[in-house]
Structure 1
Amino acid sequence: MKFDWLIVGAGFTGCIIAERIASQLGENVLIVESRDHIGGNAYDYFDENGILVHKYGPHLFHTNSKKVWEYLSKFTDWTPYYHRVLAVVEGKKVPVPFNLNSIQALFPISISHRLEELLYENYSFGDKIPVFKMIEHENQELSFLGNYIYRNVFLGYTVKQWDLKPEELDASVTGRVPFSFSRDDRYFKDKYQALPKHGYTNMFKRILKHQRIKVLLNTDYKEVSNEIDYKRMVYTGPIDSFFDYKHGALPYRSLKFDFQYHEKDDFQEAGQVNYPNEFDFTRITEYKKLTGQYAKGTTISIEYPKAYKAGVNEPYYPILRKENNEKYTLYHQETQQLKNQVIFAGRLAEYKYFNMDQVAARALHLFETEIKPSNP
């Protein structure tokens, strides 16, 4: 088989780059995917009860990038969706990120009013305040609030999710869920927030619907790469695997999902409810509340964080901390020797915690800056 490009992985990165190469450069692309489907971890499907579910947990698309939004809109219509998350704190379900509504729901009126006054005196309305910064505040009452959020919302969830305490993780991870000084219960504040109207998998099928793109599923690229005649590669898999773990394995966290169907219209008050303290799981997702689908009954998934074991489960999240970043740097240095042959891109290949829109933006950027200029 002869192709201009071999792309390893059929997730956001691989699919977008393949589409750009085929449509803009007129070159032939082969995508090799180890799983039995396209779409990476954003893959969705209709379960046996006819309900559209996300196999690898909830994927909520949100972005401030007009470029990314307009690009993906070529391949899908959208269902507007503002994600709201509740967390069980002291037996009550309150909005997270923790905000003024959460304070009002959990504290007596006199205390909630006092805390609100102090917040107005020390911050600007709309601020996103890192929990650790609030803990360090010189005002004891604000420090108390920071500690309360840390203990009741942040600590238990983080330990379950990462098997590490928050202070053991990189600040880029711990800073993702600050205190929100507002009454806006939306989990994200981006300009564009929606889900593909007919699902992510349908969107990916349309992205790949080009005569110059071929897809090979259920295939380890290492088993076929020697049989394929290609000029350059885009690699989106785990970078340590590419180099046969010569510097040691990079750690990831994985997940296990317990999907359940219930013969009732609603299971819970919001699309996602977090359980930071009780139980071994971290959250329950009800998919109809995400997609806006009308169907009999409802399907949920209960999410259990797990240690990643190669060949047993999927690597979901790079564990970003100093020693792991240093190990990744060794692998990144190896990539420089292959700069004209292989492009490493995506969450696993770059060992970074990218959101979907960031992955899409990165793929478009790589095409414009590294692929297109080398193909005049």
Structure 2
Amino acid sequence: MYDWLIVGAGFAGSVLAERIARERDQRVLIVDRRPHIAGNAYDRYDDAGVLMHQYGPHIFHTNSDAIVDYLSRFTEWRPYEHRVLARIDDKLVPIPINRTTLNALYDLDLKTDEEADAFLRSRAEPVEEIRTSEDVVVSKVGRELYEKFFRGYTRKQWGLDPSELDKSVTARVPTRTNTDDRYFTDTHQIMPKHGYTRMFERMLAHPNIKIMLNADFREVRETTKFRRLIYTGPIDEYFDFRFGKLPYRSLRFEHKSLAQETFQPVATVNYPMTEAYTRITEYKHLTGQTSPNTTITYEYPSATGDPYYPVPRPENQELYRRYQALANAEENVHFVGRLATYRYYNMDQVVGQALAEFRRIQENVPVWTAPPNGKGRDHAQAAPSALGLDRRMLS
């Protein structure tokens, strides 16, 4: 008998497994259909001896001290500030667009933020109502920079023109007038010193947690006794695609090991205008590893494959809301994580969501809850209150 069955060994499922096992002293079975823990953050040493990310680059950044404090229980960190270059007109220039980018592309000598701002305003085109991703960019930097940096990349990434996508897609990428070439500006920009997989191993190394890999949730559900369920997989799959499939964009990764120390000047180079792939990542920049070999990954967007990015269009959100209504009616089942809530989250956001869900569990779910396999209503004694540290972290 397990108190909790958790589906998915990525950030959402693993954080909740650790919290429940440690703070509630309850038994947890965590299952995953893949042959490894850590979800899309899974990293490994390849045949060339390079620590690489199996599912593309995962760069940790957050403004939350509390989330860093929590994860620091399971890893040491190394500082890392991510920088990205884009190949535009046979030049490698910083992205997000900044003053250095403008000077390089247009052979300018802009020396101040004010000069760069004036240049961008001279090219911006007024848009009466900002509705789409195209509107966002054109209204800020004009059509030429939109075509060079955004349109081709977005069409490859999403299989749709920016004019067909919600404004949130390109709103995530800022435009700067200074020379700050960091991709992120968060307070904490760090990488797990020994990798993500090692961090997850330590997170799940509790005697109350059992891990089952290469496991089909539906088979496990029929053969295992448990009281309550946490589901972090695709919400439409949980309900057998009752209303149809929720649209996602996927990715195909082509990993290549090279007998040379480095391949490119930064971790990631984007290809907005050329090539079938969107970017190339070289992992040694992320990890700080010293090796005579290097490993790179070519990233190809795809309409099929594992679900990565929910497609941000109004009709898709409406379809999700129909599934959400079914989820709200499920007894003793918690839907957590990006696939279960059909939202794109950064890693720190998933950790924050999982910790917030744990607080709700502590406040509302008795220690001994439902009968086996989540049928029926909660009963028995109330749960102990969360530790003061957790209340601070989750506030």
TM-score by length of 2: 0.87
Q: Secondary structure at the match of 2:302?
A: strand
Deviation at 1:355, TM superposition (A): 0.4
- Match of residue 306 from structure 2: 314
Q: For residues 339-369 of structure 1, give each alpha carbon's deviation from its aligned partner in whole angstroms, at most 9, with x where no partner exists.
A: x411001110000010000000000011012
Q: Distance in 2 between matches of 1:117 and 1:131?
A: 25
- Match of residue 299 from structure 1: 295
Q: Secondary structure at the match of 1:31?
A: strand
Q: 1:224 aligned to 2:220? A: yes
Q: Distance in 2 between matches of 1:185 and 1:118?
A: 15
Q: 1:4 aligned to 2:3? A: yes
Q: Secondary structure at the match of 1:174?
A: helix
- Match of residue 15 from structure 2: 16
2:356 to 359, 362, 365: 365
- Match of residue 265 from structure 1: 261
1:53-68 matches, within 5 Å, as 53-68=52-67
Asked if 1 retains the 8 angstrom alpha-carbon contact of 2:232 and 2:340, the reply is yes
Asked if 2 retains the 8 angstrom alpha-carbon contact of 1:19 and 1:210, the reply is yes
1:241-280 matches, within 5 Å, as 241-280=237-276
Q: Secondary structure at the match of 1:179?
A: coil
Q: Distance in 1 between matches of 2:39 and 2:213?
A: 12
2:327 to 319, 335, 353: 335
1:135 to 138, 147, 153: 138
Asked if 1 retains the 8 angstrom alpha-carbon contact of 2:7 and 2:232, the reply is yes
Q: 1:349 aligned to 2:347? A: no
Q: Distance in 2 between matches of 1:91 and 1:160?
A: 19
Q: Secondary structure at the match of 1:4?
A: strand
Q: For residues 159-199 of structure 1, give each alpha carbon's deviation from its aligned partner in whole angstroms, at most 9, with x where no partner exists.
A: 00000112222222221112123211000000011110000
Q: Distance in 1 between matches of 2:221 and 2:227?
A: 11
Identity %: 49
Q: Distance in 2 between matches of 1:204 and 1:284?
A: 26
Instruction: Please tell me the residue identity of whatever aligns with 2:115.
Output: E
Unmatched 5+ stretches in structure 2: 122-132, 367-382, 384-395
Q: 1:170 aligned to 2:170? A: no
Q: 1:133 to 1:221 in 2, by over 3 A?
A: closer
1:2-81 matches, within 5 Å, as 2-81=1-80
Q: 1:122 to 1:170 in 2, by over 3 A?
A: closer
Instruction: Please tell me the residue identity of whatever aligns with 1:119.
Output: D
Q: 1:96 to 1:118 in 2, by over 3 A?
A: closer
TM-score by length of 1: 0.91
Q: 1:187 to 1:122 in 2, by over 3 A?
A: closer
Q: Distance in 2 between matches of 1:131 and 1:41?
A: 29
Asked if 1 retains the 8 angstrom alpha-carbon contact of 2:99 and 2:113, the reply is no
Q: Secondary structure at the match of 1:21?
A: helix
Asked if 2 retains the 8 angstrom alpha-carbon contact of 1:132 and 1:146, the reply is no
Instruction: Please tell me the residue identity of whatever aligns with 1:182.
Output: N
Deviation at 1:132, TM superposition (A): 3.5
Q: 1:222 to 1:98 in 2, by over 3 A?
A: same
Asked if 2 retains the 8 angstrom alpha-carbon contact of 1:42 and 1:54, the reply is yes
Q: Secondary structure at the match of 1:218?
A: coil
Deviation at 1:271, TM superposition (A): 0.5
Q: 1:33 to 1:281 in 2, by over 3 A?
A: same
Q: Secondary structure at the match of 1:370?
A: helix
Q: 1:192 to 1:118 in 2, by over 3 A?
A: closer
1:208 to 193, 204, 210: 204
- Match of residue 315 from structure 2: 323
Alpha-carbon RMSD across the aligned residues, in angstroms, is: 2.0
Q: Distance in 2 between matches of 1:105 and 1:113?
A: 13
- Match of residue 189 from structure 1: 185
- Match of residue 127 from structure 1: none
Q: Distance in 2 between matches of 1:34 and 1:20?
A: 22
Q: Distance in 2 between matches of 1:225 and 1:93?
A: 51
Q: Distance in 1 between matches of 2:199 and 2:149?
A: 35
Q: Distance in 1 between matches of 2:249 and 2:30?
A: 26
Instruction: Please tell me the residue identity of whatever aligns with 2:196.
Output: Y
